[in-house]
Every structure is written in structure tokens, then in C-alpha cells.
Amino acid sequence: MATAFAPSAHATYMGKSFWPSDSEITSSPSGLFPTGAWGTSFVEDSPTSFTMWFDASSGTLPDYATSTDGKAWTNNSAITIVGSLPQGTTSVAHSVVLQTGANSYQMWYYTGLTGTSEGINQLAHATSTDGVHWTNFTFLSQSATAPILTGHTGSNVWNNSSLGPTCVIYNSAGSATLNTTNAFANQYVMYYGAGQEGVTANPVSTGLAISTDGLTWSMFSTGKTLTGSGSGWDSGRAVIWDVLNEGGQYKAFYSGGVGTSWAGLGYATSTDGFTWTTDGSDNPIFSTSQGVAYRNNRDWVPRVLLVTTATDKFYRMYFSVKNAGGAGSVAYTDGPHSAIPEPGTMALLGMGLGALALKRRKKAA
């Protein structure tokens, strides 16, 4: 018999008071994280099976690791490339991985191209049958009339350059033709970082794109969905990394900063996933100014995971951090236990919140 979980009053609010103090992941593979662990993502396959993908401190491909509790990790080295990367690229970074069918996995990632290659060639795609071995690497393409990235041409338009995909949502029942009115009626929705690092006139913001196949993308509405507040800790940059839908309300977790910094993690809500209301004076959730040594230089890339056991349900937030000496690691914190609404009122969206069953894949191999 399934255990019933009574929703908590906290379940509809996931701002600062929802999350207690955090802890640093100090077990393997902590020594492999780069300065800030960009792109780190997590999934829970079962109460005793967790998987993490992250940009390693050495090499040009993401590493993946496994854990039985989501706290102590065993590194499994880099993913395997089958074939070749798109012409002119040498790395796979900031990867967003989703399972979109039986033995069908997709990855969206940042190519690292800069200069004359800035624009849509900064984003690419690959496929896999097991989530470990990847092939069919290709650049993304975009609509000629509603491009998601314009390319760096010297102008300070908000989307002339990208920091990569940050959250991709797949809806198998989505429209086969592009829906330009309701973003989430489409089969694919992508949030992505846009703007130029350190360029005051073009702060780093979040873009929203839609697609029918995950390969060719169109800007949704005016494209820019969240940007810096203009004052305070998130005045100069704001990038969404995870989105969930709870009771018909979209909830976003984002990184904010000033100048070239990433100063903290914020929370925002929306009725449509495009127009956001940030949490005002209750933000940031965590910040570099809180006096915690392992994250006093950078707090960013929040990922929110639903953890389910036989007797409990709770949200866990992971986020990437960097200390004053430049060492990167990952922190985590658990929200209130048994505080999750009943099935039917909550839908998890985005990177790291699907079921990438690594253990099941190993058994099937």
C-alpha cells in the first residue's frame, strides 16, 4: 500500500525559509570539481541510487558519478564519445541530459566557441542509448525569423552570445507544430544563459526558446525571461537553472550576481514560466556574504531534486560553490521532510529532475 504524505504549508513556498543550512560534499569526487563546478546536475533513480554529471577539473568531457545516498560519491570517469564532435569544437561542457524515451537519451551542451563563432554554434546536441555512450553530435539550429542567438557582431543586444543551455524540459504530449502562445504546450522548452561576461551594457540574462524536435529552436515571445534586478546582489545577472511546476505555479531557482560575480541563489515564481516575480527581500537563499568559507567566492547553478524513500519525501537542493582560494565543490541542503504535495499537483521539470536510471541501464547492458 502506498504511503500517504500530507502536504506541508511550506510546500507551496520554496524560498529562503524553506532551506536550512547547507553542507559541502567532501567525499569523492570533490577533488575533481573545477572552479565553480559549472554544469553539475543530479538525478535520483531510487532511494539508494543517485547519479551526477559534472564538468571535471581536467579533460574536455563531463564526468559522471554515482552515490547510494546523494552525499558520498564514486566517480566513474568521463562519458564516452562515439564518433566525432561538431567541426571546430573540442569539448562538451555544461551538459543538460534528459531521458526522452526507452533507451533514448538526449544531451544539450555548450561548445565553448567564442569570437566569430559566437551565437547558435555555441549550443549543440547529442544522443545516447544508455546515457554514458554518446553519438550524433551536431550544432543546434534556429529559426531565421525568431533566432534565439544573434551572434557576436559588436552590438549589445541581450542575446548576441551564450553561456550554454541551463534547463531543458521535454513534453512527450507537446504540440507537433510550434505553439508561440503557450511555451509549455511545445515538446521542448529550453532556458539558456545569454549575454557577455563582464560587459556592463549587455548583462547575463536568461532566454527562453521552444522547439518541436529539440534541434531547431525559436525564441519564445521577446526571448528574455529573467534579467538582473538593477540593484543589490542580483543587479547585473540572473540565470535560471531549474524549474518545477507545483499546483499550477512555476517555480524557478536562479543564480544572480554583480559584474562578473555569481553572488547567490534566488527564487522566483510565475504563472506561465516566462514572466517571473522574484522573492524580493527574502532573496538570496544562499549567498557569498554569509560567511561560509567553502562558498564565499561563488554560489551558483542550483539544482532541485525530489528525493523519495519508503517513508518520506523531500526536496534536496544542490548548488555549485567556490572558495576564496578558487577551489570548486558542491553544497547541498534538504527541505522539510514529508512536505511534498500528492501526485497530480506537482510536476518536476528541467535538467536533473527526470529518471535517468543508471543502475537499470547497467543491468540491461
In a domain, 118, yes or no: yes
Domain assignment of residue 181, yes or no: yes
The reply to whether 314 falls in a domain is yes
**Domain harbouring 62, CATH code:** 2.115.10.20
Q: What is the DSSP letter of 361?
A: H
pTM of the model: 0.89
Where in the sequence is the domain holding 292, given as residue range(s)?
Answer: 40-364
Predicted confidence (pLDDT) per residue in 284-335, tens digit: 999 999 999 999 999 999 999 888 887 888 999 999 999 999 888 899 999 9
Q: Within a domain: residue 348?
A: yes
**pLDDT reading at 107 higher than 60:** yes
Q: Is residue 35 part of a domain?
A: no
Query: What confidence tens digit (pLDDT) does each residue in 217-259 have?
Result: 999 999 999 998 888 999 989 999 999 988 889 999 999 998 8
Within a domain: 20? no
Under the banding of pLDDT at 50, 70 and 90, the label for residue 155 is: low
pLDDT at 357 over 90: no
In a domain, 73, yes or no: yes
- DSSP output for 55-108: E-SSSSSEEEEEESSSSS-EEEEE-EE-S-PSTT----EEEEEEEEETTEEEEE
Q: Is residue 199 part of a domain?
A: yes
Q: What number is the average pLDDT over the span 158-167? A: 90
- Among 44, 50, 54, which residue's Cα sits nearest to residue 67? 50
Domain count of the fold of the chain: 1
